[in-house]
Amino acid sequence: MKMQEEIPQFLYKKLEKQYEENIVKKIIEGYEKQKPLTIRINTIKTNIEVVKEKLEKSKIQYKKVKWNEQALIIENAGKNIIKELEIYEKGEIYLQSLSSMIPPIILKPKEGENILDMAAAPGGKTTQIAAITNNKAMITACEKNKIRAERLKYNLQKQGVKCANIMVEDARKLNEFFSFDKILLDAPCSGSGTDNIKDEKFTEELIKRSQKTQEEMLTKALQILKSGKEMIYSTCSILKQENEEIIQKVLSKIKAEIVPIDEKYLIDIPLLPVDIKGTICVCPTELYEGFYLAKIIKK
């Protein structure tokens, strides 16, 4: 396999252990593919028709996405061209990968709900939650890194988000007097479903460190989630070590269970096999990054 030499040998072995040979081949082909630019229309400031019209005026071709009316795949322009457009400058669109748009949709946030985004920077999912709730939820956006928190603040302002409060805090240290109606935990991970695998920082040590953080963050999330309420656990990893194994470990200690993700949200999304029924793992392809999602309800 041409790509086999380009990905770390330890990752190749993990994939071989976890998936059948034909699936490993598919994943490796997905890593190789150059993904097009994808954008999300920011409905706080505009609507799909206005954006389409402005793109067409600029001779920019796009394709729609079946499962998300607010997403467009840009066919003939790169990041630099899109960033020069007025719709980008005004925060009417947001550059976001398709896979990362899935968690807020599956979370189903509603107006008036108290929602926590546990690892919020740079703000793609936070701004998406604000847009879905018409800027009428109460969002707490957590980010422990000061520089990343500044980037988050900038993006929230640019996108016209008025309903979010930024906490420069490690979400694992949140006081337990907090309680939330919904939580999005897009956990820090190795990025094994993304281009990150070509980075020298992508190591077995990174996976181990990520696992520890993921377990601690999911435990904290379930402690501060209100009983009977739901949360999303997601990563841009396709390794069970960072996904199913973390969930099984935490759910063995806390009273919570998996809520099966409704397949009507998954039109045309390429999926990998999973160990926990009702969770999903997106396969890396020419359009998608590898991504894992589980919806959990606290008992």
Q: Are 294 and 279 in contact (CB under 8 A)?
A: yes
**Encoded amino acid at 174, one letter:** L
Is residue 5, in this structure, part of any structural domain at all?
Answer: no
Asked whether residue 219 falls in the same domain as residue 146, the answer is yes
Q: How many CB atoms lie within 10 A of CB 4?
A: 11
Q: How many CB atoms lie within 10 A of CB 299?
A: 9
Asked whether residue 111 falls in the same domain as residue 172, the answer is yes
Is residue 13, in this structure, part of any structural domain at all?
Answer: no
| Listed residues 64, 95, 126: the one ending a domain | 95
Find all residues with CB under 8 Å of 44, minimum gap 6, and list them: 127, 130, 131, 134, 135, 159, 160, 161
**Per-residue pLDDT, 205:** 97
Q: What is the pLDDT of residues 58-86, one digit of tens each?
A: 999 999 999 999 999 999 999 999 999 99
Q: What is the pLDDT of residues 124-147, one digit of tens each?
A: 999 999 999 999 999 999 999 999
| Listed residues 95, 119, 137: the one ending a domain | 95
The candidate with the shortest Cα–Cα distance to 243, out of 287, 279, 278, 201, is: 279
How many structural domains compose the chain? 2
Task: State the CATH number of the domain containing residue 43.
Answer: 3.30.70.1170
Is residue 81, in this structure, part of any structural domain at all?
Answer: yes
**Which pTM value belongs to this model?**
0.95
Residue 263 pLDDT > 90: no
What's the chain's average pLDDT? 96
Is residue 226, in this structure, part of any structural domain at all?
Answer: yes
Expressed as residue numbers, the domain containing 257 is 100-298
Q: Are 99 and 288 in contact (CB under 8 A)?
A: yes
**Per-residue pLDDT, 1:** 44
Q: pLDDT band for position 5 (50/70/90)?
A: low
Asked whether residue 69 falls in the same domain as residue 112, the answer is no
Asked whether residue 87 falls in the same domain as residue 106, the answer is no
Task: State the CATH number of the domain containing residue 282.
Answer: 3.40.50.150
Residue 168 pLDDT > 90: yes
Asked whether residue 44 falls in the same domain as residue 131, the answer is no
Q: pLDDT over 90 for what percent of the chain?
A: 95
Q: Which two tokens stand for residue 223?
A: 């402690």
Asked whether residue 269 falls in the same domain as residue 152, the answer is yes
Q: What is the rounded CA–CA span in Å between residue 272 and residue 28?
A: 13
Is residue 4, in this structure, part of any structural domain at all?
Answer: no
Asked whether residue 292 falls in the same domain as residue 185, the answer is yes
Q: Are 234 and 188 in contact (CB under 8 A)?
A: no
Q: Are 220 and 286 in contact (CB under 8 A)?
A: no
Is residue 10, in this structure, part of any structural domain at all?
Answer: no
| Listed residues 74, 95, 116: the one ending a domain | 95
Q: What is the pLDDT of residues 24-60, one digit of tens each?
A: 999 999 999 999 999 999 999 999 999 999 999 999 9
Radius of gyration of the chain (CA): 19
**Per-residue pLDDT, 265:** 79
Which residues are designated catalytic?
236
